[in-house]
A = this chain, B = another copy of it.
């Protein structure tokens, strides 16, 4: 008898029939004799609808109030799922984040889990209950409700799996697992049976939407094996874990891409200490996330500073940067919102030359111009024209022989 944690996303519980379908899947695990804890997201568009309602009333809703409002979405889906299980003759109980002991800091709208007090969950499991936990939410020491922000329910699931020492955390979603590339772009893309935490982290961060990087990071930290699979089919899915064999690791594992890239270049920046800090501190204060930063080598103490942001944040970022650029005597600020990025990822490239050359060569052969390059030990990312991203994913998938 194992203890497993399952997580079902919003599309998997979008209506009464889908909730019943999820209930059936849960009973299969229970019938195998496992203890089952299930984390569930809000039904379909519930969260978006609640946000819309809030903005009808206040165009800058207070974050504490918004979190308490949004937390109702997951309460609704988790109580309904418990009822569906009971209708099938199984004992089940729903728990809010507070009842499940998910304690967070009080950074509303993007709270961090500080600890999990799993006593209640354990007690309910011992009674024979299937335990359904509302994802995406927690409670502060002051008994205020928080939400965890993007990837919140995935994070709840992995955090519970860690604190309950579950055998595996199964993330069920509307895709069949992690692929070598987005199968909508590359029809020959192959599902990966397994992938390491770091590779998955890079994949997720650089565009693969299947699981939130935050949940992967937490999984790595507590060594929780995470299975990503479809809630609609019986395909085996992808296991994210730390024990991926060396052989498998010795190559590029996948191609990630992201179309949501905008670039800002501050041209003609005097190269003296404190300039970069002035710009990026102001952006951080405005709550704008910066992705890639590139600074050219200085010529005559004048340099260009380039960085990328999500497209939705471009105008806000420009509004922050322009006055600073002026005050420090930079020549101008230019932006480009029609960019994308493509990345090759694999622990195989660690300390192994040749990957970068092959990537740049492949793109060059196709006449794809590289605007910026960033790398980690296990990833190389090129920022290119948005219109060429799909081509780039396809040729790189071929060049690194991922279709076999």
Contacts and interface: CB of A to CB of B under 8 A. Distances in A.
Interface string A203-234: 00000000000000000000000000000000
A80 B69 contact: yes
A197 to B, nearest CB: 34
A86 B68 contact: no
Interface residues of A, number: 38
A53 interface: yes
B83 A65 contact: yes
Contacts of A68: 75, 79, 94, 96
A54 B83 contact: yes
B65 A94 contact: yes
A341 interface: no
A20 interface: yes
A143 B143 CA distance: 12
A16 B79 contact: no
A62 interface: yes
B16 A56 contact: yes
Contacts of A54: 79-80, 83
A144 B76 contact: no
Contacts of A82: 62, 65
Interface in A78-113: 79-80, 82-84, 86-87, 93-94, 96, 98-99
Contacts of A144: 99
Contact of A57 (B62, B80, B96): B80
